[in-house]
Homo-oligomer: A and B are copies of this chain.
Amino acid sequence: MSSENTTLATGTLCLRRVGIDTYHENVAYLHRDCAIYRAEGFQALSKVEVRANGRRILATLNVVDDERIVGCDELGVSEDAFAQLQVPDGHLATVSQAEPPESIPALFRKINGERLGHEDFQAIVRDIADLRYSKIELTAFVVACNRSELDREEVYFLTEAMVASGRRLDWHEPLVVDKHCIGGIPGNRTSMLVVPIVAAYGLVFPKTSSRAITSPAGTADTMEVLSNVELPFDQLTEIVRAHRGCLAWGGTADLSPADDVLISVERPLSIDSPGQMVASILSKKMAAGATHLVLDIPIGPTAKVRSMPEAQRLRRLFEYVAQRMHLSLDVVITDGRQPIGRGVGPMLEARDVMQVLENDPAAPDDLRQKSLRLAGRLIECSPDVRGGDGFHIARDILDSGRALARMQAIIKAQGEHGFKHQHPPLGALRFEVPAESDGTVIGIDNLQVAQIARLAGAPKVKSAGVDLMRKLGDIVRRGEPLYRVHAAYPSDLEFARQACQRNCGYRIGSTEQMPRVFVEF
């Protein structure tokens, strides 16, 4: 009893790092016979607050019956939680029932269908960014804000709150450009061409990208084939100062941290409502310090947006919020009927990008054309460029080799990986998928191509993916290869092969059956 009483009186336990990686969820472990556990009446899975050396974190409680994991006078914490506390193993720590987050009443009002105001969103998003929300509360917020539950003013409040939840970069420049695509089109690696072109023109273009979440490669994954992408912020600033642009992973910069937390719930529910998409994208771009943004909305039968009216509604919502945030926004609606370029997967896409930069005759022309158009739009943000001149300026920069030189400078500055794009070390295991009949390629399913590339190992295995040998409108004969799949491991190859057998992703027919998309530019 006396050691129990000491523990109880002081309320302190010895902190112990428990070697369990619980990912983003902090877990605290208390022994069932721990005096504090019994006195406080904690429940398993309840939220507790752990304090050590002036820092405090919230954690979910697990109860332990094994002294080898935690003893009765110890407070175990999972690896991530331990790292956040920044104290050595054995340091004193206290544990108590966590106060419910302040914004819970506002959350409950949203669940009940009320419209929330500026202050409500600020409070909710602050609690989310501070990891004070449980998975249950997070999901409730996301589902309650789904569909048409947020009006456009609320989307603005949410976006504003998400920017305020993290760091906001300031490049000390009047004009900072950025581009973004809403996603869903494999191989769409235009950023790696637009950045060197526009930076070579002279505009500041500090591009931070994400890694793939559900796709076979994000820009950060593909750029990583060529150079480092995880750069400390000081180095990033230095590179942008020297070269006007960079191509880095955005995860280290603490930009709109609430967004990352919300995505962890939206993704498994396949929730991608317009309001949440707008808040997510614009908050990241505002936090990254952009003043001018070109936004790419691809439409097509297997794209995220499938009709022009839907694309127009989404465009208006983006424009409304951007204007409230004082961000200059140019939305372009593009052809999303099929993947862009030939390669799908980090190394294959890096090859395509380098071919375009080198003006290689084998370079995929759709990737070149789309990149030039987007670069042109951005160049027209410059006050001394006339509307319509941007494309030609971009083309001159690309054709003259200045874009390639700028890309090489950026690669060197970020830390070169020595990728040989003429002979890319693609996954050695491979198979080809042949056409099953004569005819014209009338459909390529973006979702299925992405799925096959992922099963083959992309993006984790950089050398894996799908290399498209035929595109929409191409005429093929039965037995001719449509695409080649690369993998590094036999089981990956087998998974990809099975997926191709279920659905190869291509449709062959007659030319007039090909879906037409009327795009704006």
Contacts and interface: CB of A to CB of B under 8 A. Distances in A.
Contacts of A146: 111-112
Contacts of A22: 44-45, 62
Contacts of A409: none
A277 interface: no
A327 B79 CA distance: 53
Interface string A221-232: 000000000000
Interface stretch (A264-272, A296-304, A432-440): A264-272
Nearest to A78: B62
A19 interface: yes
Contact of A460 (B32, B41, B44, B270): B41
B270 A20 contact: no
Interface string A9-24: 0000000001111111
A153 interface: no
Nearest to A61: B23
A66 B19 contact: yes
A494 to B, nearest CB: 12
A68 B68 contact: yes
Contacts of A108: 269-270
A113 interface: yes
A21 B139 contact: no
A395 to B, nearest CB: 42
Counted per complex, copies of this chain come to 2
Contacts of A489: 39
Contacts of A143: 111, 139-140, 143-144
A66 B18 contact: yes
A397 to B, nearest CB: 40
Contacts of A144: 143
Interface string A125-153: 00000000011111110111011000000
A114 to B, nearest CB: 11
Interface residues of A, number: 48
A147 B113 CA distance: 8
Contacts of A39: 489, 491
A492 to B, nearest CB: 9
A83 to B, nearest CB: 12
A63 interface: yes
Contacts of A269: 108, 111, 136-137, 140
Contacts of A147: 112-113
B63 A137 contact: no
Contacts of A44: 21-23
Contacts of A135: 135-136, 139
A113 B148 CA distance: 10
A64 interface: yes
A203 B22 CA distance: 53
Given A19-B68, A69-B69, 17 more contacts: A18-B69, A19-B65, A21-B64, A23-B63, A25-B45, A41-B460, A68-B69, A111-B143, A111-B146, A111-B271, A112-B147, A135-B135, A135-B136, A136-B268, A137-B268, A140-B142, A140-B269
25 contacts: A19-B64, A19-B65, A19-B69, A20-B65, A21-B32, A21-B44, A21-B62, A21-B65, A22-B44, A22-B62, A23-B44, A25-B45, A65-B79, A68-B68, A69-B69, A111-B146, A112-B146, A113-B147, A136-B265, A136-B269, A137-B268, A139-B139, A139-B143, A140-B143, A143-B144
